Structure 1
């Protein structure tokens, strides 16, 4: 078999492995989110917040790829559930930080402990160089997904924006059913 064909097969295997891990991660996250009483996407935003620490809504929007409007809804729901609080900046009262409430998060955080221990144990088998490679891969994957999400949103929103600019008469014509002769 040619080197090119072997490489293509290897890359496809890697893609499938990443997709399986990602899908299983979504299912795992949904299970934890259900237990915590919030949506999976809100749980993902909370995870970003835990990784970043105290941040503004704008920063949370930036790292998640969501709009600031969507983040406002997420923060409202997380605050209502008792997982975060809004705190005004002492120096600039216009600036508001989103701050996790560790004692409330700890209640469901225990559900991650088994998985974290298993992952750490599996990673012990890797050399430092392999761990750096995996870190580079995971970091690049995040940035690729963030960019792909932005492109997808732009592609989805473009037709809506175009249609919103069309005169109402033209939109009505375009949506009128066509009768067969």
Structure 2
């Protein structure tokens, strides 16, 4: 009985440690992205939208709004800023001229990508210590983790459709500024 209890406690401690490591890694990734955005002279949210465009490929503004959860008006502003910075371009559909796609400018993506080289090199060094089997496990973990975060994000977004008076009370006390 005791060993089962100690195994349960050890697993709980391991899961806690893993969660904290993931949170640190996630937070550092956000901070790294913010630093890249600062160096590139664009907003972090705009850089994240550019990354989504890079991963998704050429998409419509509506699809980008859908993927990011931003309104179409907000996405128009993001696209305008990214286009002005020379990072993306609008491309008309060959078959339906009313349809406009947003595409990353490859040369601009390469310039932004240079800022990620130190992080990629650090990760390649980390990954180099793992076997192919371990890398497949990490890939499965990252893929399933992404799906879990995506589902949690969708659930959280559903609160936006809930009348404010029926939402959980999350009001934080205002902090007083010290003179």
The TM-score with structure 2 as length reference comes to 0.81
Compute the RMSD of aligned alpha carbons. Answer: 2.0
What is the DSSP-based 3-state SS (H/G/I as helix, E as strand, rest coil) of the residue aligned with 1:85? strand
Contact 1:82-1:101 at 8 Å conserved across structures: yes
Q: Deviations over 1:117-156 (max 9, x none)?
A: 1111211111112111111111122222222222222214
Aligned to 2:20: 16
Deviation, 1:18, is 0.5
**Counterparts of residues 108-123 of structure 1 (less than 5 Å):** 108-123=112-127
Equivalent residue number for residue 153 of structure 1: 157
Distance (whole Å) between structure 1 residues aligned to residue 137 and residue 150 of structure 2: 20
Task: Judge conservation of contact 1:30–1:40 (CA < 8 Å) in 2.
Answer: yes
Match of 1:45 among 45, 49, 58: 49
Partners of 1:103 and 1:65 lie apart in 2 by: 27
Question: Is 1:6 aligned to 2:6, yes or no?
Answer: no
Structure 1 match to 2:176: none
Q: Which residue of 1 aligns with 2:102?
A: 98
Q: Distance in 1 between matches of 2:90 and 2:123?
A: 33
Kindly state the Cα deviation for residue 22 of structure 1 after the two structures are TM-superposed: 0.4
Change (3 A) 1:28 1:82: same
Structure 2 counterpart SS, 1:35: helix
Alignment equivalent of 1:30, drawn from 30, 34, 49: 34
Q: Which stretch shifts more, 62-71 or 35-44? A: 62-71
Paired with 2:74 and 2:118, the residues of 1 have a C-alpha distance of 32
Closer, same or farther: CA 6–153 of 1 in aligned 2, 3 Å: same
Change in Cα spacing, 1:135 to 1:66, as seen in structure 2 (3 Å) is farther
TM normalised by structure 1 equals 0.80
> Which has the larger Rg?
1
Corresponding residue number in structure 2 for 1:77 = 81
Instruction: Give secondary structure in 1 for the equivalent of 2:153.
Output: helix
- The farther-off stretch of 95-104 and 28-37 is 95-104
In the comparison of the two structures, how many residue pairs are matched? 162
Hey, what's the Cα distance between the residues in 2 that align with 1:40 and 1:155? Answer: 25
Counterpart secondary structure, 1:2: helix
